[in-house]
Amino acid sequence: MRNGGTVVPVADVHVPIRGEDDIVASRQRAREVARQLGFGAVDQSRIATAVSELARNIVRYATNGEGEVIVRETSHAERSAGIEIVVSDKGPGIADVDQAMRDGYTSGAGMGMGLPGTRRLMDEMDIDSAPGRGTTIVIRKWRR
Amino acid sequence: MGRVPIVRIAGTLVATVLEDLHDRDALELEAELFTQLERTDSDGVILDLSVVEIVDSFLGRMLNDIASGVRLMGAQMVVVGIQPAVAITLVELGLELKGVRTAVSPDRGRLLLRKLVADEKRGHRRAGR
């Protein structure tokens, strides 16, 4: 956090996802870190909503409904500070990531706009997933 | 009684969301609104979201579902006070909530609700002739 010229690093936040209650916990923590990093109200809303979508995917689709959300500050040589959120689970994985990224795709539980919608809220989204190995999604947003 | 207080003012149920809702709180709000609509013979619902900072796809879909259910029960609902940041996020997410009537403030919401209820009653009278 930039505060009168001094740089105060924002500590990484780990939120275990074990059930529905943790969806709200993870999005609130992400919003709080975004605010500390100087993101405005609209970006705070985008970031918190993106985290909510991904955390809910864990609760809905991961085999045991468990995973983790890590929220941290990140930086890039040519950009200002940013926020990076890593959402991971050991669930069934996504067989076809390209298909899951298309609007209107749904794996049957009515979350068809989950991944494409989440992508639109953020600046970057990387998905690492394979059947049986689980899914790790990294999303980033840079401060304007 | 769930976590969203519901009060009845002159035939209208007014529900004010005061905190970030868990999924089950949203489902409970839906059930409670429908129960109170029937029990109190109300013709309208105002759902105030002015302090809500996050509406994700689940809550967005719940708003659509609640609006549909309220209409099926012969009443009307207006959602008021959606924050600018929430509106931008919902549009980018791809949720435009086309089935949900909205107003920028509780005052405008009350006026819109009375108009919707009056239009509905006129429509019924015409259809009945």
Strands B44-48 and B12-16: parallel
In a domain, B60, yes or no: yes
Q: Say which residue, A77 or A50, is predicted with more confidence.
A: A50
Interface ipTM: 0.91
Taking only the tens place, the pLDDT of each residue in A66-110 is: 899 999 999 887 777 899 999 999 888 888 888 888 766 555 444
Note which residues in 18-47 of chain B have CB less than 8 A from chain A: 20-24
- HSE-up (13 A, CA, CB side) for residue A98: 0
Distance CA B124, CA A103 (A): 39
Q: Given the structure tokens 């609760």, which residue do they identify?
A: A59
Task: Say what the pLDDT of residue A23 is.
Answer: 96
Domain holding B48, by residue range, is: 6-128
Q: Helical H runs in chain B?
A: 23-40, 57-72, 84-93, 106-128
Which among A20, A48, A116 is the nearest to B24, CB-wise? Answer: A20
Taking only the tens place, the pLDDT of each residue in A117-144 is: 999 999 999 999 888 888 999 999 999 8
In a domain, B1, yes or no: no
Does residue A28 sit at the B interface (CB-CB below 8 Å)?
A: yes
pTM of the model: 0.90
Q: How close A139 comes to chain B (CA, Å)?
A: 15
Q: Given the structure tokens 């259809």, which residue do they identify?
A: B127
pLDDT tier, A112 (very low <50, low <70, confident <90, very high otherwise): very low
pLDDT tier, A13 (very low <50, low <70, confident <90, very high otherwise): very high
Q: Identify the CATH number of the domain in which residue B60 sits.
A: 3.30.750.24
Amino acid at site A34: A
Domain holding A95, by residue range, is: 13-142
Does residue A103 sit at the B interface (CB-CB below 8 Å)?
A: yes
Does residue A104 sit at the B interface (CB-CB below 8 Å)?
A: no
